[in-house]
A and B are shown apart, each in its own frame.
Chain A
Amino acid sequence: MAAVSRARRVRRQLPLSPWLFAAPGLLIIGVFILYPFVSTLVNAFTDKRTLIPGEFVGLANFRELLHDDMFWIGLRNSTLYVLGVVPALVILPLLLALLVQKNIPGITFFRSAFYTPVVASIVVVGLIWVWLLDERGLINSLLEAVGVGRVGFLSDQWLLLLSAMAVTVWKGLGYYMIIYLAALANVPRELHEAAAVDGAGAIRRFVTVTVPAVRSTMALVGALSSVAAFKVFSEVYLMAGPSGGPAGEDTTLVMLVQRTGTGLTGRVGYASAISVVVFVVTVALMLLVLRADRRGEA
């Protein structure tokens, strides 16, 4: 009783103390997240340029988007990226986690090896893959040696996009593998043992025991990877170049934001409108995945 009244007294005497503790975090969120977000939202309805303050133009930027071929190319590529990358990043890391889950001698080496691409700089990774996939790179030399001939990984718009997706998957495997490893550690061993006693093989046990047990984690990985895939920039920028591949056909929405809104002649208002679209789609994607998970649970 005395302790409670002392706590009340302290709270009365220091009404601001919780806010003081939270202040650094709130300040960072306010300056680096809230302010830019609100500012982007406001700019989307103006014709602001880098050096010229804009005027309110209503929905003009959004109307222009509808007639901008490059916007539709960006939307197409970002959507394809989600469709190509997300299933791979939901399933492959799970299989990888199952592989390295067992505690056998030397397994730490493989866990670290699979995680290495995650910590590598995306610029370095991108440049290495550009070198590997070049017309005269290692992969094309091997293909030529076995009689397949050279493949234009970096000159064909679709192969370029696929190559960038492959790099994203390769780089993300280790990260999601760690998340799955944590989830798999919580799957009761008895369930597997019971299924085995009932005569279930490895594949059956994977489908009926492992997958339901890590279902929520799969939804989380799906949500995280779909948001990241829709906002892809670095891989495509590094492999397709600043102009977004041949004739800009590999441009993604975030690349378009960068290209349109930066530089001394950047159209900040128009780029903000594209950013708002990216925001809306990513939130919708996340909600969609989480809702699908909730339905599955029900």
Chain B
Amino acid sequence: MPISRRTLAAAAVCVVLPLSGCGSGDDSGSSDASGKIEGDITFQTWNLRANFKDYFEGLIADFEKKYPSTDVKWIDQPAEGYADKISADAAGGTLPDVVNVSPDLVAPLAKAGLALDLDKAAGQYRKEYLDGAWASHRIPGMSGTYAFPWYLNTGPLFYNKSLFEEAGIDPDQPPKTYDELFTDALELAKKSDGKVATLANVPTVEDFGRYGVPLMNSEGTAFAFNDAKGVELLTKYKELYDAKALDPQALTATPESSGKKFLTGAVAMNPGSALDLGNFKKQAPNLYRNIGITDQITSTGHVNMYVMGVMVNAQTKKKAASVAFAHYVTDAEHQMSFAKKVAIFPSTAGSLDDPYFTKEDGTDETRVRIAAAKSLKSAVNYTPVLFSEQMKTALRNEVAKALQGKESPKEALDNAVKACDTLLQQQG
């Protein structure tokens, strides 16, 4: 039976119409968040239910009391595979209305039109937050800010005083500069016959940033960490690796495995936060008795900080309620009350001047908290928001090749930059 042109056209329309709907924006993609705060919304957090169930249930109940026409459904996802869960939801069109994110998660969501531009939708709240924190959810090449800043974190460098002492290094004079760090590390490895390393991780993009290496060009369109300073840092690390001052298993280490090595005395220094002191006390009392605490080492004068954010799904049908709730979670009052429950720091302006972050009480925990709060005022989130997991792996693998001597530090960084640039272009 011959098929008529009309039938063919109808079939084509049937096929093309649903396809053309994929990925297209609709009215719910606008940035207008005005209107009555009402409706059912979902709020997704990142592994927070186990320890802070009461806090979040109270927070949600208070919000619903303030806005009686709202109903917030709280979903908590485990830490493992969080990015994959968001990917699946985003791809499947089931992204919650309000989502706990980090800047590197926001970037692809914003590019796909799934994160609401808060400069437009909630610009009136901008002044409530620290400038640096608000800026941490801006994406190079795009205008706008795509998440409310939530809590910040940074921490000191912990060191094992007894290992320093055994190597003949004054445990009360920990390294303050990179040169001192490299000298002490080589000395420690030499004195322990290569049994005690000082560092357990290969340099990451944050390390390059803290060393003063420019990570991207000013337009944010290409990576730049293969300059002379970057090569200098990697060359130093190669020296440490050869002398076993950098742990031999550093090439496959994770932050968790490095932490364990520090606990067992296999590694002399490890970055951490105030939270770790409790762990040391509980899991390694000997280490806790010998723990030394010093500032993060940086050549730029700015320590590294980690930023958590709360974004609003640009496709939500309840924009007013979602923006109001995201702001409610991250406002000064609630960030402060959350900070008193766990060792995190508020990103709201003025909160770090609260006596809780300035007044000593003689305990190590408070000392670490005060030092961290002080350093956060000028801290930088060195991780470029466009630096994806694939880029992290590319950099890590090239760094490993340099440390193993398969490539020179310059070749390795050139290759890493090339790979990251390719991935950046593929991101679109």
> What residues of chain A have their CB less than 8 Å away from a CB belonging to chain B?
49-53, 134-136, 152, 154-155, 160, 240-248, 259-260, 262-267
User: What is the CA–CA distance of A160 and B251 in the complex, to the nearest angstrom?
Assistant: 12
- B90:A51 contact, CB within 8 angstroms: yes
User: What is the CA–CA distance of A134 and B264 in the complex, to the nearest angstrom?
Assistant: 12
- A51:B389 contact, CB within 8 angstroms: no
Contacts of B109 in A (CB 8 A): 51, 264
Determine chain B's interface SS by DSSP, over half rule.
helix
**Residue in contact with B249 in the complex, picked from A50, A53, A155, A263, CB distance below 8 Å:** A155
Contacts of A49 in B (CB 8 A): 426-428
User: What is the CA–CA distance of A80 and B253 in the complex, to the nearest angstrom?
Assistant: 24
Contacts of A134 in B (CB 8 A): 249
- A247:B404 contact, CB within 8 angstroms: yes
Task: Tell whether A264 pairs with B108 under 8 Å between CB atoms, given A51-B87, A243-B393, A243-B396.
Answer: yes
Residue in A closest to B251 when the chains form the complex, CB atoms: A246
* Contacts A/B (CB < 8 Å), 26 sampled: A50-B108, A52-B112, A52-B428, A135-B247, A136-B264, A152-B248, A240-B252, A242-B393, A243-B252, A243-B396, A243-B400, A246-B252, A246-B400, A247-B251, A247-B398, A247-B400, A247-B401, A248-B400, A259-B393, A262-B87, A263-B388, A264-B86, A264-B105, A264-B109, A265-B388, A265-B389
Interface residue range, chain B? 35 or more
A-B contact count (CB 8 A): 95
User: What is the CA–CA distance of A263 and B389 in the complex, to the nearest angstrom?
Assistant: 8
User: What is the CA–CA distance of A262 and B88 in the complex, to the nearest angstrom?
Assistant: 9
Contacts of A136 in B (CB 8 A): 264, 266
User: What is the CA–CA distance of A50 and B404 in the complex, to the nearest angstrom?
Assistant: 34
For the complex of A and B, the 8 pairs showing the least CB-CB separation, nearest first, are A51-B112, A247-B400, A264-B108, A246-B251, A248-B397, A265-B388, A241-B252, A247-B401
User: What is the CA–CA distance of A264 and B95 in the complex, to the nearest angstrom?
Assistant: 13
Contacts of A160 in B (CB 8 A): 252
- B84:A262 contact, CB within 8 angstroms: yes
Minimum C-beta distance from A48 to chain B (A): 10
Residue in B closest to A160 when the chains form the complex, CB atoms: B252
Tell me if B406 counts as interface (CB < 8 A to partner A). yes
Residue in B closest to A258 when the chains form the complex, CB atoms: B84
Known: A262-B87, A263-B84. 13 other contacts (CB 8 A): A49-B426, A50-B87, A52-B428, A135-B247, A135-B266, A155-B248, A155-B249, A247-B251, A247-B400, A248-B397, A263-B390, A264-B86, A267-B426
Q: Mark B107-146, 1 if CB is under 8 A from A, else 0.
A: 0110110100000000000000000000000000000000
- A264:B251 contact, CB within 8 angstroms: no
